[in-house]
Amino acid sequence: MSTLEALQSLLAEEFRVDRAQVEPDTELAALGVDSLDMLDLMFKIEDRFGLKIQDDTPPSMRTLNDVVLYVDSLLARPSGERSHPAGELHPLK
Better pLDDT: 22 or 84: 22
pTM of the predicted model as reported, rounded to 2 decimal places? 0.78
pLDDT given for residue 91 in this prediction: 43
Higher pLDDT, 12 or 1: 12
Q: What ranges do the domains of the chain cover?
A: 3-85
Amino acid, res. 34 = D
Max Cα–Cα distance, the chain, nearest Å:
36
Of the chain, the percentage scoring pLDDT greater than 70 comes to 81
CA distance 15 to 73: 24
User: What b/e string do you get for 57-67 counting C-beta neighbours within 10 Å, with b at 16 or more?
Assistant: bbeebebbbbb
User: What CATH architecture is 3-85?
Assistant: Orthogonal Bundle (1.10)
Q: Alpha-carbon Rg of the chain, whole angstroms? A: 12
